[in-house]
Homo-oligomer: A and B are copies of this chain.
């Protein structure tokens, strides 16, 4: 038996390649799917089935792409009318090699959510692993707010039933294989650890301690999750089938002059270097989204109908950036600046700075009563967990929509957890004409490490 976790960083997505003898299946493939083809080739296996656990909302599923290359058959859970692949039934069984997958309908995150229990028939019919999609994570459960406020109670109840009546009864001994790890927008505080079992979750997962159905529902409907605008695009893609790529995009390097022209024609520039480098020197009008922030943040800002221009730290970042963007449905990443920011300023083209504040600087200025607005751009749960007194809270994803709440006349110190999202927040403000904008390096992490007080 071959068992491989394939992680897609950033969206913290986990897909699985499972094979036995000469047959393999893939669960929730990602769109840049060569990785599964390579695994199949290494093992001299044929990918027979592709299983989706649900219609994903946070990335483009790679089922059609992978089926195109391999001829594998695609299966979805019951309850939604997908335009491609086949709908399976609760309890349906699939054999490959000496293994068997049994579909277990586990609605709650979405109606068509399905888990897959795996049995090793050489030792019996008992499940040894379960692939739970977005129903059950290590340390958390799936969000139940995707159908809106009215449906949240129903979904939360469904999820309770799915977990307590269908998954946990499979037994403590069963290995848990969820679709996401820490950092996903599909759950809350998912554990950094990827290894778990149903038994460990039964005991340790904070949400599963709410063993009464009503407590569980109550907890779930009061949770707050962000819902980035690109989710709609993903849902549409994943329902109807996204366009086939065939291969990854091949962006063209531009000269500084060409880059400037593209920007003037409406292309959107994204600077994927780290905050200190962006703060030090960047092109006016560009967004600051550090490379590994693209998967979770690009979908808030970047339009689908305009060319995207990349500013890189070095050429080695390019492929990862392409993959991140393709997974979010940005099919054509047009161009990047050849030679990077250095090429730009060597041409004597204008550059901008964002001043970087240490927490000591910030503290000093707040203490002496400077007219400085502290703008906290973290998620609501992070803000609720403790923030600087007097700060204004707007999640970075909402900042462009709520600019009128931010005074243009005051200096603004943007803060997040460590300084990454704050750099994006600061870049948004600069794009909109705010003059004196700071990024607080180290963010609330440094603030707390410095021993400064927080309020809740």
A interface, CB within 8 angstroms of B: 1, 3, 22, 37, 41-42, 44-46, 69-71, 120, 122-124, 126, 128-129, 139, 171-175, 191-200, 202-204, 246-247, 250, 252-253, 255, 273-281, 313, 315-316, 318, 338-339, 341-342, 345-348, 350-351, 353, 355-356, 358-360, 418-419, 441-443, 445-447, 449-450
Tell whether, in the assembled complex, residue B203 and residue A445 are in contact, meaning their CB atoms are under 8 Å apart. Answer: no
Please pick, from B69, B247, B345, B450, the residue contacting A442 in the complex, using a CB distance under 8 A.
B345
Distance of A99 from chain B, by nearest CB (Å) = 9
Distance of A215 from chain B, by nearest CB (Å) = 20
Distance of A341 from chain B, by nearest CB (Å) = 6
Residues on the B chain within 8 Å of A44, using CB: 253, 315, 338-339
With A196-B128, A348-B450: A204-B246 Cβ-Cβ less than 8 Å: no
Please pick, from B22, B128, B191, B351, the residue contacting A441 in the complex, using a CB distance under 8 A.
B351
Tell whether, in the assembled complex, residue B173 and residue A346 are in contact, meaning their CB atoms are under 8 Å apart. Answer: no
Q: Which residue of B lies closest to A22 (CB)?
A: B338
Given contacts A122-B191, A126-B204, A346-B449, 13 further A-B contacts (CB under 8 A): A3-B194, A37-B250, A44-B253, A44-B315, A46-B253, A46-B338, A128-B196, A172-B172, A173-B202, A247-B247, A277-B280, A313-B313, A346-B445
Stoichiometry, as copies per complex, reads: 4
Q: Which residue of B lies closest to A196 (CB)?
A: B128
Q: Which residue of B lies closest to A336 (CB)?
A: B44
Q: How far is the CA of A252 from the CA of B69 in the complex (A)?
A: 10
